[in-house]
Chains A and B, each alone.
Chain A
Amino acid sequence: MTTASSVLRRVAVRWRADPLDVGIVLVVLAVIVAGALTTRFFSLANGRAILASSAWVGITAIGATVVMIAGSAVSLAVSQTATVAAMIFLETQQFGLPAAIILTVASGVAITALQGAVIGFWTANPIVLTIAAGFAIDGVAIWISGGTTVYPRNAAFGSLNDTPAGLPLAVFVLLVLAVAFQWFLRRTTAGRQMYLLGENPAAARAAGLPVGRVTVIAWALFGGCIALTGIFLAAFNTSANSSLGGTLSLDVIAAVLVGGTAIGGGKGSALRTLGGAVLIAAISDLLLLRGFSTGIQLLVKGILVLMVVIAIHVRSNRRRR
């Protein structure tokens, strides 16, 4: 009896120590209850729709998680990079699908890793640098494309729009990436170094960590993820113009933050980001099914981001005491 109550108390103490988890559980419960009261929310088709709508943002958000964990905060050049990746992908269709994918991912990695190098080796401010990079990428893209919409000469990408098991291919890519990045972050030296670097850059530098190289690796992985999102965007829209990326930059940050990754670095996980992306998609879907406008969907998304951010900081403030 005493052991049972002490176990209970310990559970209760642990529970109280984590307002973030309490908050997330409450939000998920609220979604489940509201979903149960909404016709067609708990149907296979709707589940697929939720996963499908989280895939594009989710893929890039997984990469953004790594960068945020490594302490580089955020990139404001994501939309532009994804747009350029989509254009490159469509322009290289004549070389066949594998070559087009490789070329696109390679250019995404190159563009983004270059920014990572400036941040890692020169300790440039990521926000200023990525605003500059966004202008540069967009400017060069419009210069080369002449500001017109890019259409592929032949469409080798048809198979990317396949839906095995009723789910878009992008969903499978998202799931595989989430698991792979989780493994990378937890189990590899480079991954562990990213947590250390984000937690305390000065200590990481003092400990002789290759700060520049670790930062470049994080940004290179991010660039690969952005390029993949660009590829799926291109395949879905079958053309690309300079506004294709839309609000991707901010959607990605929202998904990473809702997943509980700390903006200051050092904490976070790829699987939680996957959860964040799916949760945002599920809530938007629920509001849509209940007939709320896109405005209300945005409003709720913003409030969700605020709540999670507050919960994270209430938790870390309490730990500090």
Chain B
Amino acid sequence: MIIYSPMDGDALTSPIPSNPRDCFLMTRLGKPVPRGINEIRRSITAVCNKANYKVIDASSRVTGRDFLLKIWRLIASTPLSVGICHEEIPPKTQANIYYELGIAQALGKESIIVKSPGAETPSDFVRTEHIEFDARFSTTFADYLESLVQQASHYELVADQLDRNPILALDYLKRAFLITGDEQLRNKAQQLLNEPGLNSRAKNSVELLAATF
């Protein structure tokens, strides 16, 4: 996939290291964090840890470089983005969360909104899946994480059908790999690269970058 830098509009031509089985959490990070939001975060983390997902957020990595670009790269490196929607999140922070959800959707990531019963989502997110933070939250969210395995299997199956379109097939394999962490999917990508003509491309070509995961 070609990712254009939000800073200068040029394509990113260096590989983004993959973080399979990581969940990028979008929430309020600046102190003080209201209790209700902390409670949602704790529940998300507990369910993710149980399902073998590691929760990371924008403060998990210190790069010393541009903050926005770091967020883009973190989203691109992970399979799943979870955004919290809560009435106590300040409007500016909530707008940032929606922006990041948009990035995740555009990059083909699994994305979901966890919302408190009192919070309202903007109309652009009406068709985005959301889970309400209520008494059944842990079960519902765990079911959602479980369903991602099937989605990964679907991505692999689609990739298998697209061998005449290697870039798309590689991208589907990458999406499946990020969810499962299955090394066999990396091998499949390498096999695709062995098709005539592909391996001789520049190391930062779209084809080889797509296979670097």
A-B interaction: no
State the A residues within 8 Å of B (CB). none
State the B residues within 8 Å of A (CB). none
